[in-house]
Every structure is written in structure tokens, then in C-alpha cells.
Amino acid sequence: MIDEADAHTEAPDIKGRRAIITGGTTGIGRAIAVLLASYGVKVFICGRTPEHLDDALQRIREVGEGDGINVDLSMAEDVDRFFEAARDFLGEIDIAVINAAVPAAALADAGESEARYQLETDFTAYLVCAQEAARCMSAGSDIIMIGSMTAVSRGPGSSIYVAAKSGIQGFVQSFRKELAEQDIKVGLIEPGFTGADFQYPEFPPEKQKDLIGKHQMLRAEDIAVAAHFMLVQPRRTAVSLIRVETRLDHP
């Protein structure tokens, strides 16, 4: 006879937890915010565009509780403003999803100011937000970094993005060990080819819908499910890396 209590691992309930999600107004961040809110997590998001923030908060509030703010995380003062507003709304922070990013092209094709902005957003802001989140957290907390399979494929035409995501990949491995004794878990999710406005204009909405239907593109919600999986593991378990790829290669 199977002892079901022994056959299944502990799955902590995330209801009542408090989460920040950077870049939570569109794409993967929005999907994560909506999913966590639906499980009873109180969420606070940020993004750069007011209309995207309004749209995301409307959806979040249909399933749960949330608020947010417009900021540009490439600027240090906006990082401070985001965390101050998040603490005012949430009180404590015990989940941080570091996700906000901008598209970045080949270094040879970018001007210096453009390259600096992309690196400030896609790499420096990741580290600074992770640092600030850790300072706010107590035992039993989780930090999830959203990286990219670009760090693995390292194809041409996106060398700035490859540099940022490869840096995050290495950072998470070290940062996880630094926080382990404090019972703050750090995990990395590396999505493959995922549908979002991030893919415009090369892949407009109808093209994305077609590729998703052909199993050649992921939905943002597929990445949200991976984030939820990380959060419902026993504290002894560190799911340190999840790579989510399409079953079929995209064209």
C-alpha cells in the first residue's frame, strides 16, 4: 500500500506572501504577476509605460491584489523609488522576481549611449534590484531571476544581450551560495523563444499566435508556471535553474 504522505513532497502554500516583479507590466513579468496574484500573493509591479501599467493592474486586480509604479530601473533613483513604494504597499517583501529588460542588439551596431543604457537595464539593474531585495528579506524568502536561453545559444546579432544574460547566469550561481545560510533562495529561469511585445516588430501578434499554435514559440504564461514551481518547493530544495524551451525549433 502506498503511503501518499511519503510519496509526495511538501508543497508550501504561497497564499499571503508578498512579491515584487520588475518589468511586471508586459510579457513574462505580467504573466508571473497575474499567476501569483491568482494564488493569493500580494504583488507590486513596475514598468516604464503608464498604459501598460494600467492594463496589467486591471488584470491583476481581477484575480487578486496588486499595485505598481512607473519607473526606469536604469536610473539609481528610480530603483530606490520602486523599493520605497513597494515596501509602503507590501510591508515586507518575501518574493522578488527580477525580470525587467529591454531588447539589445549587436555591440557593433549600437552607439555608446545606447549600449550603456541596454547594459544598465539588462545587467546592472538586475544586480542592484537583487541586492536591494535581499536586504529587505528575512528567512524563507525567494529571489527569481529571469534570464534567457540567449546565454546558452550565444548567436550573432545580440552580443549586448548575450553579455548581460551570460553575466546574470554566472551571478546567480554565486549569489545563491552567498544567501543560502540566510534561507533566501535564488533561482534562475532561462526562457527560450517566448511571445511578447519584446519580439515586435519582427514577430507581430498574429505571427506569434501562429508560432505558438505550431509549438514553435512559448507563451509568457509557460514561464510563469516555471516561476510558480520554484516557489512551491520545500525549503531544503533549491531549484537553481529552469530552462524552458519550445518542443519544436522556431524558423
Q: How far apart are CA 184 and CA 162, in angstroms?
A: 27
Please name every residue paired with 214 in a beta bridge, in sequence order, or none if there are none: none
Res. 125: pLDDT tops 70: yes
Res. 2: pLDDT tops 70: no
Nearest to 98 by CA among 165, 180, 14, 17: 165
Check if the beta carbon of residue 148 is closer than 8 Å to that of residue 218: no
- Cα pseudo-dihedral 142, 85, 17, 122, rounded to 10: -30
Res. 156: pLDDT tops 80: no
State the chain's mean pLDDT as an integer.
Answer: 92
DSSP state string for 196-207: SGGGTTTS-HHH
∠ at Cα 58 (189, 199), nearest 5°?
45
pLDDT the model gives residue 128: 97
Q: What is the mean pLDDT of residues 23-42?
A: 97
pLDDT digits (tens, 9 = 90+) for 187-238: 999 999 888 877 777 888 899 999 999 999 999 999 999 999 999 999 999 9
pLDDT band at 245 (very low <50, low <70, confident <90, very high): very high
Q: How far apart are CA 144 and CA 187, in angstroms?
A: 5
pLDDT the model gives residue 196: 81
pLDDT band at 27 (very low <50, low <70, confident <90, very high): very high
Q: How far apart are CA 110 and CA 69, in angstroms?
A: 29
Q: What is the mean pLDDT of residues 28-50?
A: 97
Q: What is the mean pLDDT of residues 16-28?
A: 97
pLDDT digits (tens, 9 = 90+) for 168-186: 999 999 999 999 999 999 9
The percent of residues above 70 in pLDDT, for the chain, comes to 96
pLDDT band at 5 (very low <50, low <70, confident <90, very high): low
152: its cell numbers: 546558452
Q: What is the mean pLDDT of residues 108-119?
A: 82
pLDDT digits (tens, 9 = 90+) for 87-110: 999 999 999 999 988 877 777 777
SS3 letters across 16-80: CCEEEEECCCCHHHHHHHHHHHHCCCEEEEEECCHHHHHHHHHHHHHHCCEEEEECCCCCHHHHH
Check if the beta carbon of residue 24 is closer than 8 Å to that of residue 53: no
- The amino acid sitting at 63 is V
pLDDT band at 1 (very low <50, low <70, confident <90, very high): low
- The amino acid sitting at 197 is D
Residue 21 phi/psi, 5° resolution?
Answer: -135, 110
To the question of pTM greater than 0.75 for the whole model, the response is: yes
- The amino acid sitting at 115 is A
The percent of residues above 90 in pLDDT, for the chain, comes to 74
